[in-house]
Amino acid sequence: MTGTGLSRLFWCLALLPASALAKATVYPLPAEIQSNHFTVTIDGNPAPVAHAASGYYFVNFDLAGSARIAVTAESADYWAKGVEVQPWRHGIRPTRNGRTIAFTLSKPAKLSISRPGDHYSIAEMLFLFANPPEVHPPRLGDPGVRYYGAGIHREDIHARSGETIYLDRGAVVLGSLNLWGVENVKVLGRGILIHDGPQNPNDDQGWMHRPNWHAIVADHARNVEVRGITFVVRSRTWMIQVQDSRQVTFENIKVIGGCPGNANQDGIDWLGGGDAVVRDCFFRASDDIFAIYDNWLGYDKLSVSGNDVSNITIEDSVLSTSISNVVRVSWPQKAFNSRNFVMRNCDVIHMGIGGCRVPFALLEIWADPTGKGQHSGYLFEDIRMDYWYSLTQLRQPSPGIRDIRFRNIWAIERPALAPSVLLGDVDGVTFDNVKIGDRVATRDQDIPVEVLSGAKAPQYARTSAAPHASFTFAPSAIRPGQAVKFSASESADVASYEWLFGDGAIASGKRVKHVFPDAGGTLWDGSGRFRVLLKVTGKNGKVDWTSRPVVMVKSWLDTENVAGAAAGYIDVPVDGGYTFTLLSKDKAELRIGATLVATSPPPVPMVCGAPGNAVQAATGSIGLRAGKHRVRLAVADPDGFAVLWEGPGFPLQEIPARALR
């Protein structure tokens, strides 16, 4: 069947009632942007796959109930080394049958599917956007509605005050959305806008504030709503730029940027203004996901001040970047104020690795050494972090940073790869129920945090009304097919316990039993390691999360004779499955006895001309008999490495230094 014929088929399928497609409705897609790199079916019905940018692909559909999703890759061995579905909090582990994976999705969600470790700029990723059905969408011919129907539209959209712009399912606009000096505008639908601008891919021109230069550009706009659209950026430019605008809401938009140069594709930049809401959105960026400045007139005019930024809320969103920060505020030489920023109930599935002179972080406020400004009232609450680098970098010479709160932050599995830093005029930083795996941070070393010249020490608290999530399991030595008992710790006023076992199964209750069917691991990587998550919900609706690895042991490594050895061994307390995490900047490998447990990935250089490589994590699991085992560590660069372990009865922690000599 030709591309045109397929497009017509998908259009007909999309017009069927939801019941005809088992409560899932796929969208038509013009042949010009379709891809056969992946084949996707929803309850057995074909869903067209769009190529977004670089190695990124996506599927849009409406979901009004449960549906079975199947993804087939082009090559037979595509999933041979594993498959990862994020966010992790969904607990999805698909079945795998050759080049096809499948799983059931029971409600709307925004998912990223990739192979383990494949999340840099050259990654291949498939994004699945299961949208809630539209309610009373505009129709062709409705008064005040500019309507874009299914098919390709080659134009830049220039909004007019008071109008509604509607991109129907199957509509693809090749251009930009300009919100220049307008008010009372709605941009709605399930269509797609693709921006592929004239920017030089080898130079940084993406900051320029001009019409048709970004997927969305707003200037002195008021009372604007953008909802439901998918935005794709293929050129080296900031994706959404909002200057001196207020009352701008982005809801259920999907923003995908892929840049071969892996730079200069911020998600949203606020250049003055604010009063903005970002709700239920998805971002895959090639730079900072969100950035706050007073203006940006070029690197030679950084000290020219603009307007302050205030009152920004980001909630219920899925956030991913191949490089840089989740939130960046300011830049050296910038002079402006910002206040009242809230990010809540979001999934950070990928954060940048390394740094641009300073490490990347969930929140970076960096004006050192000559920038100025007062930045205050920043709250990060109920944030789940899958892959992350550091929690915060606060570096402000004057007049200062105040009232920065991190409440209910869950680093679900991995430790920080770089310390957080407080430097300069920084005061009022609070870490409230920040959890690294199964451990609540109560001191600087737990995150870790470095408090440098001029900064005040942070406060540690647990003021949240959420219950405390923690659990144990037995036995410690587990084989596939063996029943495991899980017990949640005592916590007052608990309404529910939800277990996600990392093998696709879920359960509820304070104490549960579960049988892991195989030793493939959550990622189908053969590690035997399953990521078990526990979500505890209080009677007041507040939640807490925790995670532990549970290892299915396929074979045992016996103890060694270490008599007379002064160092280079670990003493394993009980028979069981143990997980080791190797942190290193360059080539490194960890062996227990003669068994290779973890080896570092290829080095990733720092950016912006910073010297050296980024710290990366390599994780491996192994079944160890109780007793002493030799540790053999080969490291190309002894600076900036560490080895942590986790096992039955103890959380993730660094192995004593004497074992690594």
Break the chain into its structural domains and give their ranges: 3-131, 146-287, 314-464, 471-551, 556-660
Question: Which pLDDT score is estimated for 15?
Answer: 41
Distance CA 129, CA 146 (A): 25
Question: Which pLDDT score is estimated for 262?
Answer: 66
185 in Cβ contact with 165 (< 8 Å): yes
Q: Which residue is it, tokens 């490089």?
A: 323
Of 169 and 18, more confident: 169
Percent of the chain with pLDDT over 90: 83
Question: Which pLDDT score is estimated for 657?
Answer: 65
Of the candidates 458, 469, 412, the one whose C-alpha atom is nearest the C-alpha of residue 432 is 458
Give the CA angle between residues 508, 512, 513 to the nearest 5°.
130
**Phi and psi dihedrals of 407, rounded to 5?**
-125, 130
pLDDT reading at 437 higher than 90: no
Of 304 and 563, more confident: 304
CATH 2.60.350.10, applies to 3-131 = yes
May I ask the CATH class of domain 146-287? mainly beta
Question: Which pLDDT score is estimated for 263?
Answer: 76
Q: Which residue is it, tokens 């021109």?
A: 205
Distance CA 506, CA 92 (A): 10
- Mapped onto helix, strand or coil, the DSSP state of residue 540 is coil
Average pLDDT over every residue of 427-432: 98
Topology of domain 556-660 in CATH is: Jelly Rolls (2.60.120)
Binning pLDDT at 50, 70 and 90, where does residue 176 land?
very high
Give pTM, 2 decimals. 0.95
- For 217, the token pair is 């550009």
Question: Which pLDDT score is estimated for 11?
Answer: 42
Q: Which residue is it, tokens 């809320």?
A: 313
371 in Cβ contact with 334 (< 8 Å): yes
Q: Which residue is it, tokens 């498959």?
A: 83
Average pLDDT over every residue of 465-482: 91
* Fold match, 3-131 / 471-551: no
Average pLDDT over every residue of 333-360: 96
pLDDT reading at 3 higher than 60: no
Distance CA 597, CA 578 (A): 10
pLDDT, one tens digit per residue, over 269-322 is 999 999 999 999 999 999 999 999 999 999 889 989 899 999 999 999 999 999
CATH 2.60.40.10, applies to 471-551 = yes
pLDDT, one tens digit per residue, over 102-160 is 999 999 999 999 999 988 888 999 999 999 999 999 999 999 999 999 999 999 999 99
345 in Cβ contact with 308 (< 8 Å): no
Average pLDDT over every residue of 486-511: 94
Of 503 and 119, more confident: 503
pLDDT reading at 19 higher than 50: no
Cβ partners under 8 Å of residue 541, min gap 6: none
Of the candidates 636, 632, 549, 631, the one whose C-alpha atom is nearest the C-alpha of residue 600 is 636
Distance CA 319, CA 328 (A): 14
Binning pLDDT at 50, 70 and 90, where does residue 562 land?
confident
**For residue 419, cis peptide bond before it (omega within 30 degrees of 0):** no
372 in Cβ contact with 366 (< 8 Å): no
pLDDT, one tens digit per residue, over 233-258 is 999 999 999 999 999 999 999 999 98
Question: Which pLDDT score is estimated for 533?
Answer: 97
- The 8-class DSSP code of residue 18 comes to G
Question: Which pLDDT score is estimated for 97?
Answer: 96
- Mapped onto helix, strand or coil, the DSSP state of residue 197 is coil
- For 206, the token pair is 């993406």
